[in-house]
């Protein structure tokens, strides 16, 4: 067994695909298959179920996967420790987040971070909030940013920033209002574009409406959409109204291409959370990222827990 075999095995397990693992590792698919076959021969067991194009771990595969993650992380840490000793801060960081943080929160922060640490690279993947935790627990990503909390014993949540959801409408939509605030009953008269299930924004909207006189079932829904940007464009083109993060629509609101309203006595706000696995052993590069993020957003993170 060697490090390359373990890297290939972990990549196949994470992607559940030989071809995707090959692309990630810049190898040919036959080379990936050969590494897996040699590893299975050496371990004298089947590590992967290959059924109908779906790759899953066998029981033996799960055991090896857990050990392989630790071994590969230790190898990375050794490399990073030596580079840090030599005064070089470099490496890669993987992040998964929902659409609003990806487009509107992270760019300015990453720009500042990369100015200080120009040799660190990032892989940033987008998915709905409910899929972020599985990505982190499987170590397909190290850090996540989400717009709603889902309690999990192995995940730490830290308040990152407060975000306000506003009601956006087409520019020709007139709703009786008081300095931009409307009565919540007016929502019954509107047609809505909603995010699909799994979205943190959708979860917040449903929770707020359930605590109001206008339950979600009272809304007229025209479409369920996966992308926040797609919703904004649909509203701009007159298909309906929607609740979206204020920062994601601010540019078009200021240009007069969208109208915004708030709901009287019913604030639609939420927090974005920075999350990671409690079981994760961080590389020095990842620790630098946490330290910088803590200072940038004034997070309540005890850095002593990463000192070991």
What's residue 86's pLDDT?
Answer: 64
Contact 185, 263 (CB under 8 A): no
Q: What is the pLDDT averaged over residues 300-307? A: 74
Report residue 274 as tokens.
């920075």
What is the number of residues in the chain?
308
Domain positions in the chain:
3-84, 90-161+271-306, 164-269
Q: Nearest Cα to 125, choosing from 56, 194, 24?
A: 24
Q: Nearest Cα to 273, choosing from 181, 162, 142, 169?
A: 162
Write out pLDDT tens, residues 144-172: 998 888 889 999 999 999 999 999 999 99
What's residue 268's pLDDT?
Answer: 94
Rounded CA separation 124/282 (Å):
17
What is the pLDDT confidence band of residue 61, given thresholds at 50, 70 and 90?
very high
In order of 97, 112, 242, the CA distances from 106 in angstroms are: 10, 10, 23
Report residue 124 as tokens.
């940033």
Write out pLDDT tens, residues 214-246: 999 999 999 999 889 999 999 999 999 999 999
Report residue 297 as tokens.
């957003």
Contact 142, 94 (CB under 8 A): yes
Q: Nearest Cα to 195, choosing from 240, 243, 152?
A: 243
Rounded CA separation 272/98 (Å):
10
The CATH number of domain 90-161+271-306 is 3.40.50.1980: no
Are both 3-84 and 164-269 of the same fold? no
What phi and psi, each to the nearest 5 degrees, are found at residue 195? -70, 155
What's residue 24's pLDDT?
Answer: 86
Q: In the CATH scheme, what is the code of domain 3-84? A: 1.10.10.10
Write out pLDDT tens, residues 80-137: 777 766 667 788 899 999 888 888 888 889 999 999 889 899 999 888 878 899 889 8
pLDDT at 275 over 80: yes
What's residue 87's pLDDT?
Answer: 63
What's residue 187's pLDDT?
Answer: 97
Hey, is 10 helix, strand or coil? Answer: helix
Contact 143, 95 (CB under 8 A): yes
* CATH domain 164-269 topology: D-Maltodextrin-Binding Protein; domain 2 (3.40.190)
What phi and psi, each to the nearest 5 degrees, are found at residue 16? 55, 35
């Amino acid at each position: 067994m060697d490090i390359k075999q373990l890297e290939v095995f972990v990549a196949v397990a994470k992607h559940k695909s030989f071809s995707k693992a090959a692309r990630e590792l810049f190898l040919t698919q036959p080379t990936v298959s050969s590494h897996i076959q040699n590893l299975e021969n050496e371990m004298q067991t089947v590590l992967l179920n290959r059924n109908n194009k779906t790759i899953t771990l066998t029981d033996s595969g799960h055991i090896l996967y857990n050990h392989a993650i630790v071994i590969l992380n230790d190898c990375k840490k050794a490399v990073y420790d030596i580079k840090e000793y030599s005064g070089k801060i470099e490496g890669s960081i993987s992040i998964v987040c929902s659409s609003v943080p990806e487009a509107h929160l992270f760019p300015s922060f990453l720009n500042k971070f990369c100015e200080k640490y120009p040799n660190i690279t990032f892989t940033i993947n987008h998915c709905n909030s409910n899929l972020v935790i599985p990505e982190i627990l499987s170590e397909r990503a190290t850090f996540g940013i989400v717009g709603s909390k889902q309690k999990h014993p192995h995940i730490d949540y830290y308040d990152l920033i407060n975000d306000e959801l506003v009601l956006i409408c087409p520019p020709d939509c007139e709703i009786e209002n008081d300095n931009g605030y409307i009565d919540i009953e007016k929502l019954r008269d509107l047609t809505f574009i909603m995010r699909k299930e799994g979205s943190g924004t959708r979860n917040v909207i449903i929770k707020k409406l359930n605590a109001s006189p206008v339950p979600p079932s009272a809304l007229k829904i025209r479409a369920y959409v996966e992308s926040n940007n797609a919703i904004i464009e649909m509203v701009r083109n007159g298909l309906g109204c929607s609740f979206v993060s204020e920062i994601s629509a601010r540019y078009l609101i200021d240009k007069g291409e969208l109208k915004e309203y708030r709901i009287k006595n019913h604030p639609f706000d939420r927090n974005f959370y920075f999350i990671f696995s409690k079981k994760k052993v961080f590389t020095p590069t990842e620790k630098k990222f946490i330290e910088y993020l803590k200072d940038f957003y004034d997070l309540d993170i005890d850095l002593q827990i990463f000192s070991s």
